[in-house]
Chain A
Amino acid sequence: MQANVRIATLDRRAAMATLLADRPANLFVVPGLGSCTWDAFAAGDDDRNFYLWGAMGGAAMIGLGLALAQPKLRVAVITGDGEMLMGLGSLGTVGMQKPANLAVVVFDNGHFGETGMQASHTSGAVDLCAVARGCGIERVMDVGDEAGLRELAGLLANSDRTLFARVRIAADDPPRVLPEKDGVAIKDRVRRAVAKAAGFTPA
């Protein structure tokens, strides 16, 4: 696994920008707390981003609940390896439900970047792609270059089965750019966007 860290060179901001560049109107994003939330905001503020400032370990399950509720929408959870590790069991729960409209994308830098870049399990023993496969997720991608990112961006829009992708990003810490912080405002905004995209009336 050491090898993975050495060849993990994708720039996280550029990777997020590539994934969301030609974002279809029905693609909703749940970025994991900390760095991925900053990345998503840096790629362009959007009503369809459910920015997380907490709830570590919950991103994949939030995505699952939304994906099950609205099968015609596309849902991409984009989170850090640390955040994913805290909710590793949720990959099993996702594997049991298998919604075709859900993708779980892990920006894997092998570290807990937000808290001072301490090495995480994915720098050592843990291979998240193997975990995802073992959880019954059939489409698993290991993305290490631009071509892979572009393929992944396409699949976020049209994969016909649940997708897991590990994106090997460099362990760096770009300047923070901070979106809306008020949880109620973030929630209400996303809910209105879902209602518009899916045609329901928010209560």
Chain B
Amino acid sequence: MNAVTDTTPAAWQDQLFDVLKRADIRQVGYVPDAGHARLIARCKADPEIRDVVLTTEEEGVALAAGAWLGGQRAALLMQSSGVGNCVNMLSLMRSCRFPMLMLVTMRGEWEEFNPWQVPMGSIVDPVLKLCDADVAKVETPDAVVPAVQNAVQLAFGGDRAAAVLLSQKLIGRKVWVK
């Protein structure tokens, strides 16, 4: 990955933001990940979206429950390792059938340089399924919008958790030495 693609947002990243806007997402909780940098910046710049920086990802699950009680839709942006931090809090969504939209940038699954990302990255899909979440994995730019639109429908139409895993194939290899 060269310096240009490192800073120029890919088209799918802005399309993803547009999907969240069309879905009327009003609170966005996140623990930052490089792969979500563009989306976080767009959310912060939008006066209709409350961006909520979290200390741990499970806070974003509880935030989404509160938002829904208040009649608003929320989303949680996190890296794959953050899924591990959410496990018990996701029982809140299942017990009460809250909608829960999660967008997960993957690490530890494709051209990974950091082996410490692999243990969690490799179990994200089964862990989320065990938590009763619907899981879709996206590896190409043209699949992003349909997958996220579908997750929005599953979550808010079906009162359940839905996650979209954004592959490292999509995001690109992390640049370790600049």
Contacts and interface: CB of A to CB of B under 8 A. Distances in A.
Given A54-B92, A93-B53, A61 B62 contact: yes
B135 interface: no
18 contacts: A57-B89, A59-B62, A62-B62, A62-B69, A65-B27, A65-B69, A66-B67, A67-B70, A68-B52, A69-B66, A89-B56, A90-B55, A92-B55, A93-B53, A93-B54, A93-B55, A195-B71, A203-B156
**For the complex of A and B, 10 pairs with smallest distance between CB atoms:** A65-B66, A69-B70, A89-B55, A58-B62, A61-B62, A183-B96, A183-B95, A65-B67, A69-B72, A62-B66
B96 A186 contact: yes
Interface of B: 26-27, 50, 52-56, 58-72, 74, 88-89, 91-92, 95-98, 156
Contact of A191 (B27, B55, B68, B89): B68
- Number of chain A interface residues as a range: 35 or more
Given A65-B74, A68-B70, A69-B72, A89 B59 contact: yes
Contacts of B62: 55, 57-62, 65, 87, 90
Q: Is the interface of A mostly helix, strand, loop or mixed?
A: helix
Contact of A187 (B53, B58, B71, B96): B96
A93 B59 contact: yes
A187 B59 contact: no
B92 A58 contact: yes
A93 to B, nearest CB: 6
Interface of A: 28, 30, 50, 53-70, 73, 87, 89-90, 92-93, 96-97, 183-184, 186-187, 190-191, 194-195, 198, 200, 202-203
